[in-house]
Amino acid sequence: MRHTLRFLLGHDLVELGEVDPTQTVLEWLRRDAHRWGTKEGCAEGDCGACSVVVVRPEGGRLRADAVNSCIQFVGTLDGAQLLTVEDLKGPDGRLHRVQQAMVDHHGSQCGFCTPGFVMALYAMDRRGEAVTYETAVDEIAGNLCRCTGYGPIVEAALAMRGTEGAGEHLSGREAEVMARLEALDDGQDLMVGKDGRTFHAPASLDALAMLYAGNPGAALVAGSTDVGLWVTKQDRPLDPVIWLGRVKELRRIEERTDAVVIGAGVSYTDAMAKLGEMYPEGGELIRRLASVQIRNTGTIGGNVANGSPIGDSPPFLIAADARVVLRYRGERREVAVEDFFISYGEQDRRPGELVEAIVLPRPKPTEHLACYKISKRFDQDISAVCGGFRVRVEKGVVKDARLAFGGMAGTPKRAKAAEAALVGRPWSEDAARDAAAAMEGDFRPLTDQRASAAYRMKVAQNLLVKFWYETHGEGGQIRLVGPRRVVHG
Ligand SMILES: Cc1cc2nc3c(=O)[nH]c(=O)nc-3n(C[C@H](O)[C@H](O)[C@H](O)COP(=O)(O)OP(=O)(O)OC[C@H]3O[C@@H](n4cnc5c(N)ncnc54)[C@H](O)[C@@H]3O)c2cc1C
Ligand code: FES
Ligand code: FES
Protein backbone atom coordinates (compact mmCIF):
# COMPACT_ATOMS: atom_id res chain seq x y z
CA MET A 1 0.00 0.00 0.00
CA ARG A 2 1.33 3.43 -0.98
CA HIS A 3 0.38 6.53 1.00
CA THR A 4 1.74 9.20 -1.31
CA LEU A 5 0.00 10.59 -4.37
CA ARG A 6 2.47 11.04 -7.22
CA PHE A 7 2.09 12.81 -10.52
CA LEU A 8 3.87 15.25 -12.81
CA LEU A 9 2.78 18.87 -12.99
CA GLY A 10 4.30 19.85 -16.29
CA HIS A 11 7.74 18.28 -15.81
CA ASP A 12 7.88 18.64 -12.02
CA LEU A 13 7.22 15.64 -9.80
CA VAL A 14 4.52 16.30 -7.21
CA GLU A 15 4.29 14.03 -4.15
CA LEU A 16 1.43 14.62 -1.75
CA GLY A 17 1.05 12.77 1.53
CA GLU A 18 -1.97 14.75 2.68
CA VAL A 19 -4.80 14.82 0.18
CA ASP A 20 -8.35 15.96 0.75
CA PRO A 21 -10.26 13.13 -0.97
CA THR A 22 -12.71 15.47 -2.68
CA GLN A 23 -10.45 18.42 -3.44
CA THR A 24 -10.83 19.06 -7.14
CA VAL A 25 -7.90 19.36 -9.50
CA LEU A 26 -9.01 22.94 -10.18
CA GLU A 27 -8.97 23.86 -6.49
CA TRP A 28 -5.59 22.26 -6.07
CA LEU A 29 -4.19 24.11 -9.07
CA ARG A 30 -5.45 27.49 -7.99
CA ARG A 31 -5.09 27.25 -4.19
CA ASP A 32 -2.10 24.98 -3.69
CA ALA A 33 -0.07 25.10 -6.90
CA HIS A 34 -0.85 28.79 -7.53
CA ARG A 35 -1.49 28.15 -11.20
CA TRP A 36 -4.22 30.65 -11.81
CA GLY A 37 -4.36 30.33 -15.58
CA THR A 38 -7.01 27.64 -15.33
CA LYS A 39 -10.38 29.26 -14.66
CA GLU A 40 -13.57 28.27 -12.91
CA GLY A 41 -16.82 29.05 -14.72
CA CYS A 42 -19.62 26.68 -13.84
CA ALA A 43 -17.92 24.08 -11.58
CA GLU A 44 -20.11 21.40 -13.15
CA GLY A 45 -18.36 20.29 -16.32
CA ASP A 46 -20.49 22.42 -18.61
CA CYS A 47 -18.37 25.40 -19.73
CA GLY A 48 -14.83 24.10 -20.26
CA ALA A 49 -13.12 27.13 -18.66
CA CYS A 50 -11.27 24.71 -16.36
CA SER A 51 -10.01 22.42 -19.15
CA VAL A 52 -6.60 20.88 -18.55
CA VAL A 53 -4.81 18.05 -20.29
CA VAL A 54 -4.07 14.77 -18.52
CA VAL A 55 -1.38 12.60 -20.09
CA ARG A 56 -1.01 8.87 -19.44
CA PRO A 57 0.95 6.04 -21.03
CA GLU A 58 -1.20 3.81 -23.20
CA GLY A 59 -0.14 1.09 -25.60
CA GLY A 60 3.50 2.19 -25.66
CA ARG A 61 2.81 5.88 -26.26
CA LEU A 62 1.46 8.88 -24.42
CA ARG A 63 -2.19 9.72 -24.61
CA ALA A 64 -3.30 13.28 -23.87
CA ASP A 65 -6.93 13.97 -22.97
CA ALA A 66 -8.64 17.27 -22.24
CA VAL A 67 -10.68 16.98 -19.04
CA ASN A 68 -12.72 19.29 -16.82
CA SER A 69 -10.51 19.94 -13.79
CA CYS A 70 -13.48 21.33 -11.81
CA ILE A 71 -15.07 17.89 -11.33
CA GLN A 72 -12.00 15.64 -11.13
CA PHE A 73 -10.59 14.89 -7.71
CA VAL A 74 -6.88 15.52 -7.29
CA GLY A 75 -6.32 11.85 -6.33
CA THR A 76 -7.29 10.85 -9.87
CA LEU A 77 -4.04 12.38 -11.12
CA ASP A 78 -2.04 9.50 -9.66
CA GLY A 79 0.52 8.33 -12.21
CA ALA A 80 -0.38 11.02 -14.77
CA GLN A 81 1.16 14.18 -16.18
CA LEU A 82 -1.02 17.25 -15.71
CA LEU A 83 -0.59 20.02 -18.26
CA THR A 84 -2.16 23.44 -17.81
CA VAL A 85 -2.12 26.54 -19.94
CA GLU A 86 1.06 27.67 -18.15
CA ASP A 87 2.93 24.71 -19.64
CA LEU A 88 2.36 25.65 -23.25
CA LYS A 89 4.59 28.71 -23.58
CA GLY A 90 8.15 27.81 -24.57
CA PRO A 91 11.16 28.48 -22.27
CA ASP A 92 12.18 31.26 -24.68
CA GLY A 93 8.84 33.01 -24.02
CA ARG A 94 7.35 32.15 -27.38
CA LEU A 95 3.67 31.16 -27.35
CA HIS A 96 2.72 27.63 -28.29
CA ARG A 97 1.40 27.43 -31.84
CA VAL A 98 -2.15 26.86 -30.53
CA GLN A 99 -1.90 30.05 -28.48
CA GLN A 100 -0.30 31.92 -31.36
CA ALA A 101 -3.13 30.88 -33.67
CA MET A 102 -5.65 32.21 -31.15
CA VAL A 103 -3.78 35.54 -31.11
CA ASP A 104 -3.44 35.69 -34.88
CA HIS A 105 -7.12 34.98 -35.46
CA HIS A 106 -8.45 37.17 -32.62
CA GLY A 107 -9.86 34.13 -30.80
CA SER A 108 -9.80 35.80 -27.38
CA GLN A 109 -11.98 38.70 -26.30
CA CYS A 110 -12.51 38.95 -22.53
CA GLY A 111 -10.26 35.93 -22.28
CA PHE A 112 -11.95 34.12 -19.43
CA CYS A 113 -12.73 31.09 -21.55
CA THR A 114 -9.47 31.25 -23.48
CA PRO A 115 -7.26 28.94 -21.38
CA GLY A 116 -9.93 26.24 -21.63
CA PHE A 117 -10.22 26.59 -25.40
CA VAL A 118 -6.45 26.57 -25.73
CA MET A 119 -6.14 23.36 -23.72
CA ALA A 120 -8.95 21.66 -25.63
CA LEU A 121 -7.29 22.61 -28.91
CA TYR A 122 -3.86 21.60 -27.62
CA ALA A 123 -5.18 18.08 -26.88
CA MET A 124 -6.57 17.97 -30.41
CA ASP A 125 -3.33 19.25 -31.93
CA ARG A 126 -1.33 16.66 -30.02
CA ARG A 127 -3.36 13.81 -31.46
CA GLY A 128 -2.02 14.85 -34.84
CA GLU A 129 -5.26 14.08 -36.71
CA ALA A 130 -6.44 16.23 -39.59
CA VAL A 131 -8.40 19.23 -38.29
CA THR A 132 -11.57 20.02 -40.21
CA TYR A 133 -14.38 22.41 -39.45
CA GLU A 134 -16.47 19.49 -38.17
CA THR A 135 -13.80 17.96 -35.94
CA ALA A 136 -12.84 21.38 -34.55
CA VAL A 137 -16.43 22.17 -33.68
CA ASP A 138 -16.86 18.79 -32.02
CA GLU A 139 -13.68 19.27 -30.04
CA ILE A 140 -14.75 22.58 -28.54
CA ALA A 141 -18.43 21.73 -28.04
CA GLY A 142 -17.68 21.56 -24.30
CA ASN A 143 -16.17 25.05 -24.20
CA LEU A 144 -18.39 28.05 -23.73
CA CYS A 145 -17.35 31.52 -24.84
CA ARG A 146 -19.66 34.11 -23.37
CA CYS A 147 -18.40 36.72 -25.82
CA THR A 148 -19.38 34.44 -28.73
CA GLY A 149 -15.92 34.42 -30.21
CA TYR A 150 -16.58 31.05 -31.78
CA GLY A 151 -15.93 32.08 -35.39
CA PRO A 152 -12.37 33.29 -34.71
CA ILE A 153 -11.72 30.35 -32.37
CA VAL A 154 -12.69 27.86 -35.06
CA GLU A 155 -10.51 29.77 -37.53
CA ALA A 156 -7.61 29.48 -35.07
CA ALA A 157 -8.26 25.74 -34.74
CA LEU A 158 -8.15 25.33 -38.50
CA ALA A 159 -4.98 27.38 -38.83
CA MET A 160 -2.99 26.18 -35.81
CA ARG A 161 -0.99 23.51 -37.62
CA GLY A 162 0.53 26.04 -39.95
CA THR A 163 1.26 28.58 -37.23
CA GLU A 164 4.77 29.22 -36.00
CA GLY A 165 5.21 28.81 -32.29
CA ALA A 166 6.69 26.89 -29.38
CA GLY A 167 5.99 23.21 -28.89
CA GLU A 168 9.33 21.44 -28.92
CA HIS A 169 9.69 21.86 -25.12
CA LEU A 170 6.74 19.46 -24.80
CA SER A 171 6.96 17.19 -27.83
CA GLY A 172 10.74 16.83 -27.48
CA ARG A 173 10.42 15.41 -23.95
CA GLU A 174 7.77 12.77 -24.56
CA ALA A 175 10.16 9.81 -24.23
CA GLU A 176 11.38 11.16 -20.91
CA VAL A 177 7.81 11.73 -19.66
CA MET A 178 6.84 8.23 -20.76
CA ALA A 179 9.70 6.71 -18.76
CA ARG A 180 8.88 8.78 -15.68
CA LEU A 181 5.16 7.92 -15.79
CA GLU A 182 5.90 4.24 -16.28
CA ALA A 183 8.14 4.38 -13.22
CA LEU A 184 5.25 5.86 -11.21
CA ASP A 185 3.00 2.94 -12.15
CA ASP A 186 4.13 0.69 -9.31
CA GLY A 187 1.03 -1.57 -9.19
CA GLN A 188 0.49 -0.79 -5.52
CA ASP A 189 -2.86 0.14 -4.03
CA LEU A 190 -3.03 3.79 -3.05
CA MET A 191 -4.56 5.29 0.07
CA VAL A 192 -4.18 8.96 0.90
CA GLY A 193 -6.29 11.28 2.99
CA LYS A 194 -6.66 14.29 5.19
CA ASP A 195 -8.38 14.97 8.51
CA GLY A 196 -9.47 11.33 8.80
CA ARG A 197 -11.13 11.21 5.36
CA THR A 198 -9.59 8.91 2.77
CA PHE A 199 -9.14 8.49 -0.99
CA HIS A 200 -8.40 4.99 -2.26
CA ALA A 201 -7.21 3.93 -5.69
CA PRO A 202 -6.81 0.16 -5.71
CA ALA A 203 -4.60 -1.20 -8.47
CA SER A 204 -6.45 -4.46 -9.19
CA LEU A 205 -10.02 -5.62 -9.60
CA ASP A 206 -9.76 -8.06 -6.70
CA ALA A 207 -8.49 -5.32 -4.39
CA LEU A 208 -11.25 -2.98 -5.55
CA ALA A 209 -14.00 -5.58 -5.05
CA MET A 210 -12.79 -6.43 -1.54
CA LEU A 211 -12.37 -2.79 -0.56
CA TYR A 212 -15.83 -1.78 -1.80
CA ALA A 213 -17.52 -4.82 -0.22
CA GLY A 214 -15.91 -3.85 3.07
CA ASN A 215 -16.95 -0.19 2.65
CA PRO A 216 -20.39 -0.29 1.02
CA GLY A 217 -21.07 3.31 2.02
CA ALA A 218 -18.04 4.55 0.09
CA ALA A 219 -18.43 6.84 -2.90
CA LEU A 220 -17.28 4.78 -5.85
CA VAL A 221 -15.90 7.03 -8.57
CA ALA A 222 -15.37 6.12 -12.22
CA GLY A 223 -15.26 9.22 -14.47
CA SER A 224 -16.54 11.56 -11.73
CA THR A 225 -18.91 13.33 -14.13
CA ASP A 226 -21.76 12.77 -11.68
CA VAL A 227 -19.87 12.37 -8.41
CA GLY A 228 -17.81 15.53 -8.98
CA LEU A 229 -21.03 17.54 -8.97
CA TRP A 230 -22.16 15.98 -5.67
CA VAL A 231 -19.21 17.86 -4.20
CA THR A 232 -19.17 21.11 -6.19
CA LYS A 233 -22.95 21.61 -6.32
CA GLN A 234 -24.30 19.72 -3.30
CA ASP A 235 -21.34 20.04 -0.95
CA ARG A 236 -21.62 16.38 0.01
CA PRO A 237 -18.89 15.24 2.41
CA LEU A 238 -17.89 11.97 0.73
CA ASP A 239 -15.81 9.53 2.74
CA PRO A 240 -14.21 7.25 1.86
CA VAL A 241 -13.80 7.81 -1.85
CA ILE A 242 -12.80 4.82 -3.99
CA TRP A 243 -11.59 5.60 -7.51
CA LEU A 244 -11.54 2.75 -9.98
CA GLY A 245 -9.35 4.48 -12.57
CA ARG A 246 -6.21 2.49 -11.77
CA VAL A 247 -7.85 -0.90 -12.29
CA LYS A 248 -6.58 -1.98 -15.70
CA GLU A 249 -9.01 -4.94 -15.90
CA LEU A 250 -11.91 -2.47 -15.92
CA ARG A 251 -10.50 -0.48 -18.83
CA ARG A 252 -10.57 -3.40 -21.26
CA ILE A 253 -12.85 -3.94 -24.22
CA GLU A 254 -13.01 -7.68 -24.80
CA GLU A 255 -14.12 -9.02 -28.19
CA ARG A 256 -16.12 -12.24 -28.07
CA THR A 257 -17.72 -13.95 -31.05
CA ASP A 258 -21.24 -13.18 -29.82
CA ALA A 259 -20.66 -9.96 -27.87
CA VAL A 260 -18.31 -7.21 -26.86
CA VAL A 261 -17.60 -6.78 -23.17
CA ILE A 262 -17.00 -3.17 -22.15
CA GLY A 263 -15.26 -2.79 -18.79
CA ALA A 264 -16.87 -0.40 -16.33
CA GLY A 265 -13.81 1.85 -16.45
CA VAL A 266 -13.80 2.31 -20.25
CA SER A 267 -14.37 5.97 -21.10
CA TYR A 268 -17.08 7.05 -23.50
CA THR A 269 -14.37 8.18 -25.90
CA ASP A 270 -12.93 4.68 -26.05
CA ALA A 271 -16.29 2.93 -26.09
CA MET A 272 -17.54 5.20 -28.89
CA ALA A 273 -15.14 3.83 -31.49
CA LYS A 274 -15.98 0.19 -30.75
CA LEU A 275 -19.70 0.84 -30.50
CA GLY A 276 -19.61 2.82 -33.72
CA GLU A 277 -18.09 -0.17 -35.54
CA MET A 278 -20.77 -2.56 -34.28
CA TYR A 279 -23.73 -0.23 -34.01
CA PRO A 280 -23.17 3.00 -35.94
CA GLU A 281 -26.26 4.43 -34.25
CA GLY A 282 -24.87 3.64 -30.80
CA GLY A 283 -21.59 5.35 -31.67
CA GLU A 284 -23.43 8.42 -32.89
CA LEU A 285 -25.51 8.48 -29.72
CA ILE A 286 -22.38 8.61 -27.60
CA ARG A 287 -20.98 11.41 -29.72
CA ARG A 288 -24.13 13.33 -28.82
CA LEU A 289 -23.46 12.70 -25.14
CA ALA A 290 -21.99 15.72 -23.37
CA SER A 291 -18.62 16.97 -24.66
CA VAL A 292 -15.16 15.67 -25.45
CA GLN A 293 -13.96 16.54 -21.93
CA ILE A 294 -16.84 14.64 -20.30
CA ARG A 295 -16.51 11.71 -22.71
CA ASN A 296 -12.80 11.46 -21.94
CA THR A 297 -13.53 10.49 -18.34
CA GLY A 298 -17.23 9.49 -18.09
CA THR A 299 -18.13 5.83 -18.49
CA ILE A 300 -21.06 3.75 -19.69
CA GLY A 301 -20.65 1.79 -16.44
CA GLY A 302 -21.35 4.99 -14.50
CA ASN A 303 -24.24 5.88 -16.80
CA VAL A 304 -25.90 2.56 -15.93
CA ALA A 305 -24.85 2.41 -12.27
CA ASN A 306 -26.20 5.86 -11.47
CA GLY A 307 -29.73 4.63 -12.23
CA SER A 308 -30.72 7.88 -13.93
CA PRO A 309 -34.02 7.81 -15.83
CA ILE A 310 -32.52 10.16 -18.41
CA GLY A 311 -29.12 8.58 -19.02
CA ASP A 312 -28.50 8.26 -22.74
CA SER A 313 -26.91 4.84 -22.97
CA PRO A 314 -29.56 2.67 -21.18
CA PRO A 315 -32.27 2.90 -23.89
CA PHE A 316 -29.71 1.82 -26.50
CA LEU A 317 -28.33 -0.93 -24.25
CA ILE A 318 -31.82 -2.23 -23.46
CA ALA A 319 -32.77 -2.24 -27.15
CA ALA A 320 -29.57 -4.19 -27.90
CA ASP A 321 -30.40 -6.64 -25.05
CA ALA A 322 -27.19 -5.85 -23.18
CA ARG A 323 -26.38 -7.26 -19.76
CA VAL A 324 -24.64 -5.84 -16.69
CA VAL A 325 -21.92 -7.88 -14.99
CA LEU A 326 -22.00 -7.26 -11.25
CA ARG A 327 -19.24 -8.15 -8.86
CA TYR A 328 -19.35 -8.61 -5.09
CA ARG A 329 -16.06 -9.77 -3.54
CA GLY A 330 -15.19 -12.84 -5.69
CA GLU A 331 -18.76 -13.43 -6.90
CA ARG A 332 -20.05 -12.38 -10.31
CA ARG A 333 -23.60 -12.32 -11.61
CA GLU A 334 -25.24 -10.94 -14.73
CA VAL A 335 -28.57 -9.18 -15.14
CA ALA A 336 -30.23 -7.77 -18.21
CA VAL A 337 -29.80 -3.98 -18.29
CA GLU A 338 -33.59 -3.60 -18.39
CA ASP A 339 -33.96 -5.61 -15.15
CA PHE A 340 -31.19 -3.67 -13.42
CA PHE A 341 -33.46 -0.62 -13.15
CA ILE A 342 -36.13 -1.53 -10.58
CA SER A 343 -37.75 1.83 -9.84
CA TYR A 344 -36.69 5.47 -9.55
CA GLY A 345 -33.55 5.51 -7.37
CA GLU A 346 -33.54 1.71 -6.93
CA GLN A 347 -31.33 -0.67 -8.89
CA ASP A 348 -30.64 -4.39 -8.63
CA ARG A 349 -27.28 -3.86 -6.93
CA ARG A 350 -26.62 -4.77 -3.33
CA PRO A 351 -24.45 -2.63 -1.02
CA GLY A 352 -20.78 -3.12 -1.84
CA GLU A 353 -21.49 -4.68 -5.24
CA LEU A 354 -19.95 -2.97 -8.23
CA VAL A 355 -20.63 -2.89 -11.94
CA GLU A 356 -17.75 -4.74 -13.57
CA ALA A 357 -18.75 -4.63 -17.24
CA ILE A 358 -21.47 -4.32 -19.82
CA VAL A 359 -21.96 -7.20 -22.24
CA LEU A 360 -23.20 -5.92 -25.58
CA PRO A 361 -24.42 -8.60 -28.02
CA ARG A 362 -23.35 -8.26 -31.63
CA PRO A 363 -26.09 -7.21 -34.05
CA LYS A 364 -27.76 -9.78 -36.28
CA PRO A 365 -28.29 -9.22 -40.02
CA THR A 366 -32.10 -9.24 -39.79
CA GLU A 367 -32.19 -6.54 -37.14
CA HIS A 368 -32.64 -2.80 -37.44
CA LEU A 369 -31.40 -0.72 -34.54
CA ALA A 370 -31.60 3.02 -34.11
CA CYS A 371 -31.16 5.58 -31.32
CA TYR A 372 -32.68 9.03 -31.12
CA LYS A 373 -31.77 11.75 -28.69
CA ILE A 374 -34.14 14.68 -28.31
CA SER A 375 -32.58 17.63 -26.52
CA LYS A 376 -32.77 21.38 -26.83
CA ARG A 377 -29.19 21.68 -28.08
CA PHE A 378 -27.29 19.32 -30.36
CA ASP A 379 -24.23 19.19 -28.10
CA GLN A 380 -23.70 19.09 -24.38
CA ASP A 381 -27.33 18.73 -23.39
CA ILE A 382 -29.31 16.22 -21.35
CA SER A 383 -32.11 14.40 -23.21
CA ALA A 384 -35.75 15.25 -22.82
CA VAL A 385 -36.46 11.89 -24.45
CA CYS A 386 -34.02 9.28 -25.68
CA GLY A 387 -35.13 6.23 -27.64
CA GLY A 388 -33.35 2.99 -28.51
CA PHE A 389 -35.25 0.73 -30.89
CA ARG A 390 -34.45 -2.67 -32.33
CA VAL A 391 -36.74 -4.73 -34.54
CA ARG A 392 -36.01 -8.07 -36.14
CA VAL A 393 -37.78 -8.34 -39.47
CA GLU A 394 -37.89 -11.65 -41.33
CA LYS A 395 -39.67 -11.98 -44.69
CA GLY A 396 -41.22 -8.57 -44.08
CA VAL A 397 -42.76 -9.54 -40.73
CA VAL A 398 -41.70 -8.23 -37.32
CA LYS A 399 -40.46 -11.21 -35.33
CA ASP A 400 -39.18 -9.32 -32.32
CA ALA A 401 -39.25 -5.71 -31.10
CA ARG A 402 -37.45 -3.95 -28.29
CA LEU A 403 -38.43 -0.30 -27.90
CA ALA A 404 -36.75 1.39 -24.95
CA PHE A 405 -36.98 4.97 -23.75
CA GLY A 406 -35.31 7.31 -21.31
CA GLY A 407 -37.17 10.37 -20.05
CA MET A 408 -40.58 8.69 -20.21
CA ALA A 409 -40.74 7.07 -16.75
CA GLY A 410 -38.86 6.87 -13.42
CA THR A 411 -36.41 4.43 -15.02
CA PRO A 412 -35.23 3.68 -18.55
CA LYS A 413 -38.06 1.41 -19.69
CA ARG A 414 -39.38 -0.68 -22.57
CA ALA A 415 -42.66 0.20 -24.27
CA LYS A 416 -44.14 -3.27 -24.00
CA ALA A 417 -47.63 -2.41 -25.26
CA ALA A 418 -46.12 -0.79 -28.33
CA GLU A 419 -43.86 -3.80 -28.87
CA ALA A 420 -46.83 -6.18 -28.63
CA ALA A 421 -48.63 -4.08 -31.24
CA LEU A 422 -45.75 -4.66 -33.66
CA VAL A 423 -44.75 -8.29 -33.28
CA GLY A 424 -46.30 -10.59 -35.88
CA ARG A 425 -47.30 -7.73 -38.18
CA PRO A 426 -45.75 -6.69 -41.45
CA TRP A 427 -43.13 -3.94 -40.89
CA SER A 428 -45.43 -1.28 -42.29
CA GLU A 429 -46.33 2.31 -41.58
CA ASP A 430 -49.74 1.19 -40.25
CA ALA A 431 -48.07 -1.15 -37.78
CA ALA A 432 -45.64 1.58 -36.68
CA ARG A 433 -48.49 4.06 -36.21
CA ASP A 434 -50.59 1.51 -34.28
CA ALA A 435 -47.62 0.75 -32.06
CA ALA A 436 -47.08 4.47 -31.51
CA ALA A 437 -50.72 4.80 -30.42
CA ALA A 438 -50.34 1.81 -28.08
CA MET A 439 -47.48 3.64 -26.35
CA GLU A 440 -50.12 5.68 -24.49
CA GLY A 441 -50.58 2.54 -22.38
CA ASP A 442 -46.87 2.25 -21.62
CA PHE A 443 -45.94 5.60 -20.13
CA ARG A 444 -47.23 8.48 -18.02
CA PRO A 445 -44.31 10.90 -18.53
CA LEU A 446 -43.63 13.89 -16.30
CA THR A 447 -43.66 17.57 -17.11
CA ASP A 448 -40.43 19.29 -16.07
CA GLN A 449 -38.11 22.05 -17.26
CA ARG A 450 -36.92 19.95 -20.20
CA ALA A 451 -40.30 19.06 -21.70
CA SER A 452 -44.00 18.71 -20.99
CA ALA A 453 -45.62 15.31 -20.59
CA ALA A 454 -47.61 15.84 -23.78
CA TYR A 455 -44.48 16.76 -25.75
CA ARG A 456 -42.61 13.73 -24.44
CA MET A 457 -45.40 11.38 -25.46
CA LYS A 458 -45.81 12.95 -28.88
CA VAL A 459 -42.12 12.95 -29.66
CA ALA A 460 -41.70 9.34 -28.48
CA GLN A 461 -44.54 8.26 -30.77
CA ASN A 462 -43.16 10.22 -33.67
CA LEU A 463 -39.70 8.72 -33.19
CA LEU A 464 -41.12 5.26 -33.71
CA VAL A 465 -42.75 6.32 -36.97
CA LYS A 466 -39.48 7.99 -38.01
CA PHE A 467 -37.69 4.72 -37.23
CA TRP A 468 -40.03 2.93 -39.61
CA TYR A 469 -39.39 5.52 -42.33
CA GLU A 470 -35.65 5.13 -41.87
CA THR A 471 -35.58 1.35 -41.83
CA HIS A 472 -38.32 -0.10 -43.98
CA GLY A 473 -36.49 0.19 -47.28
CA GLU A 474 -34.37 -2.44 -48.92
CA GLY A 475 -31.51 -3.25 -46.55
CA GLY A 476 -32.60 -0.47 -44.21
CA GLN A 477 -31.13 2.99 -44.11
CA ILE A 478 -29.37 4.20 -41.05
CA ARG A 479 -27.51 7.34 -40.17
CA LEU A 480 -23.77 7.03 -39.92
CA VAL A 481 -21.33 8.19 -37.31
CA GLY A 482 -19.50 11.09 -38.81
CA PRO A 483 -19.14 14.82 -39.07
CA ARG A 484 -22.32 16.62 -38.18
CA ARG A 485 -22.76 18.37 -41.54
CA VAL A 486 -22.71 15.04 -43.33
CA VAL A 487 -24.95 13.31 -40.82
CA HIS A 488 -27.37 16.06 -39.95
CA GLY A 489 -26.84 18.71 -42.57
C1 LIG B 1 -21.55 18.57 -18.35
C2 LIG B 1 -22.19 17.23 -18.27
C3 LIG B 1 -22.90 16.76 -19.35
C4 LIG B 1 -23.52 15.51 -19.29
N5 LIG B 1 -24.22 15.08 -20.37
C6 LIG B 1 -24.80 13.87 -20.33
C7 LIG B 1 -25.53 13.42 -21.46
O8 LIG B 1 -25.63 14.08 -22.49
N9 LIG B 1 -26.13 12.20 -21.35
C10 LIG B 1 -26.03 11.44 -20.23
O11 LIG B 1 -26.58 10.34 -20.20
N12 LIG B 1 -25.34 11.84 -19.15
C13 LIG B 1 -24.74 13.04 -19.18
N14 LIG B 1 -24.04 13.48 -18.08
C15 LIG B 1 -24.01 12.64 -16.88
C16 LIG B 1 -22.77 11.76 -16.73
O17 LIG B 1 -21.76 12.13 -17.62
C18 LIG B 1 -23.07 10.32 -17.00
O19 LIG B 1 -24.10 9.86 -16.19
C20 LIG B 1 -21.84 9.42 -16.85
O21 LIG B 1 -22.07 8.27 -17.57
C22 LIG B 1 -21.48 9.03 -15.46
O23 LIG B 1 -20.33 8.19 -15.55
P24 LIG B 1 -19.05 8.45 -14.67
O25 LIG B 1 -18.07 7.39 -15.03
O26 LIG B 1 -18.60 9.83 -14.75
O27 LIG B 1 -19.67 8.14 -13.24
P28 LIG B 1 -19.32 8.72 -11.81
O29 LIG B 1 -19.68 10.14 -11.70
O30 LIG B 1 -17.94 8.34 -11.44
O31 LIG B 1 -20.35 7.83 -10.97
C32 LIG B 1 -21.75 7.94 -11.20
C33 LIG B 1 -22.51 7.02 -10.24
O34 LIG B 1 -22.27 5.67 -10.59
C35 LIG B 1 -21.59 4.98 -9.54
N36 LIG B 1 -20.60 4.14 -10.20
C37 LIG B 1 -19.69 4.53 -11.14
N38 LIG B 1 -19.04 3.45 -11.59
C39 LIG B 1 -19.52 2.38 -10.92
C40 LIG B 1 -19.27 1.00 -10.95
N41 LIG B 1 -18.35 0.48 -11.75
N42 LIG B 1 -19.98 0.18 -10.12
C43 LIG B 1 -20.91 0.68 -9.31
N44 LIG B 1 -21.22 1.99 -9.24
C45 LIG B 1 -20.53 2.82 -10.03
C46 LIG B 1 -21.00 6.05 -8.67
O47 LIG B 1 -20.81 5.60 -7.34
C48 LIG B 1 -22.07 7.13 -8.78
O49 LIG B 1 -23.16 6.79 -7.97
C50 LIG B 1 -23.41 14.72 -18.12
C51 LIG B 1 -22.66 15.18 -17.04
C52 LIG B 1 -22.05 16.41 -17.11
C53 LIG B 1 -21.27 16.89 -15.94
S1 FES C 1 -15.63 25.32 -14.59
FE2 FES C 1 -17.09 25.00 -16.17
S3 FES C 1 -16.50 23.06 -16.93
FE4 FES C 1 -15.26 23.32 -15.22
S1 FES D 1 -13.43 35.48 -24.80
FE2 FES D 1 -14.81 36.08 -23.31
S3 FES D 1 -15.78 34.33 -22.61
FE4 FES D 1 -14.62 33.73 -24.27
CATH classification of the domain holding 371: 3.30.390.50
User: Is residue 59 one of the residues assigned to a domain?
Assistant: yes
User: Which pLDDT band, with edges at 50, 70 and 90, does 190 fall under?
Assistant: very high
Are 434 and 351 contained in the same domain? yes
Nearest CA to ligand 2 atom 3: 45
Are 13 and 114 contained in the same domain? no
Across the range 280-295, mean pLDDT stands at 92
Calpha distance 141→135 (Å, rounded): 10
Give yes or no for residue 303 CB within 6 A of ligand 1.
yes
pLDDT at position 474 is 53
Range of the domain at 430: 252-471
Are 80 and 182 contained in the same domain? yes
- Which of 44-53, 251-260, 462-471, 475-484 bottoms out in mean pLDDT, i.e. has the lowest? 475-484
Across the range 436-451, mean pLDDT stands at 96
Q: Which of these three, 122, 143, 166, is where a domain ends?
A: 166
Q: In this model, does residue 473 exceed pLDDT 80?
A: no
User: Is residue 315 one of the residues assigned to a domain?
Assistant: yes
- The percentage of the chain sitting over the pLDDT mark of 90, rounded to a whole number, equals 87
User: Is residue 129 one of the residues assigned to a domain?
Assistant: yes
- Which atom of ligand 1 is nearest to 228's Cα? 29
User: Is the four-CA dihedral 412, 415, 416, 420 of positive or negative sign?
Assistant: negative
The whole-chain average pLDDT of the chain stands at 94
pLDDT at position 149 is 85
Alpha carbon of 149 to ligand 3 centroid (Å): 7
Give yes or no for residue 70 CB within 6 A of ligand 2.
yes
Are 327 and 348 contained in the same domain? yes
Are 371 and 288 contained in the same domain? yes
- Ligand 3 pocket: which residues have CB below 6 Å? 108-114, 145-147, 149
Alpha carbon of 122 to ligand 2 centroid (Å): 17
User: Which pLDDT band, with edges at 50, 70 and 90, does 477 fall under?
Assistant: very low
User: Which pLDDT band, with edges at 50, 70 and 90, does 475 fall under?
Assistant: very low
pLDDT at position 481 is 38
User: Is residue 488 one of the residues assigned to a domain?
Assistant: no
pLDDT at position 476 is 47
Are 445 and 462 contained in the same domain? yes
User: Which residues is 51 bridged to in the sheet?
Assistant: 68
User: Is residue 189 one of the residues assigned to a domain?
Assistant: yes
Alpha carbon of 147 to ligand 2 centroid (Å): 16
Are 332 and 219 contained in the same domain? no
Return the beta strands (E) in 202-322 as ranges.
219-221, 241-243, 253-255, 259-263
Are 319 and 422 contained in the same domain? yes
Are 282 and 157 contained in the same domain? no
Structural contact between residues 8 and 79, judged by C-beta atoms closer than 8 angstroms:
no
Give yes or no for a cis peptide into 152 (omega within 30° of 0): no
- Which atom of ligand 1 is nearest to 311's Cα? 11
Across the range 240-264, mean pLDDT stands at 97
Give yes or no for residue 387 CB within 6 A of ligand 2.
no
State which of 68, 229, 379 you would mutate to test the pocket of ligand 2, scoring each by most atoms of that ligand within 8 A of its C-beta: 68
Q: Which of these three, 220, 243, 266, is where a domain ends?
A: 243
User: Is residue 484 one of the residues assigned to a domain?
Assistant: no
Alpha carbon of 190 to ligand 1 centroid (Å): 23
User: Is residue 482 one of the residues assigned to a domain?
Assistant: no
Cite the DSSP H helix spans in 150-197: 150-159, 168-171, 174-184
Identify the CATH number of the domain in which residue 157 sits. Answer: 1.10.150.120
Whether the full predicted model's pTM is greater than 0.85, yes or no, is: yes
331 burial type by CB count under 10 A (0-12 exposed, 13-18 middle, 19+ buried): exposed
Are 152 and 181 contained in the same domain? no
- Which of 66-75, 144-153, 229-238 bottoms out in mean pLDDT, i.e. has the lowest? 144-153
Ligand minimally distant from the alpha carbon of residue 40:
2
Q: In this model, does residue 63 exceed pLDDT 60?
A: yes
Are 301 and 234 contained in the same domain? no
Give yes or no for residue 294 CB within 6 A of ligand 1.
yes
Are 270 and 371 contained in the same domain? yes
Q: Which of these three, 166, 199, 218, is where a domain ends?
A: 166
Across the range 103-132, mean pLDDT stands at 94
pLDDT at position 323 is 98
How many domains does the chain contain in total? 3
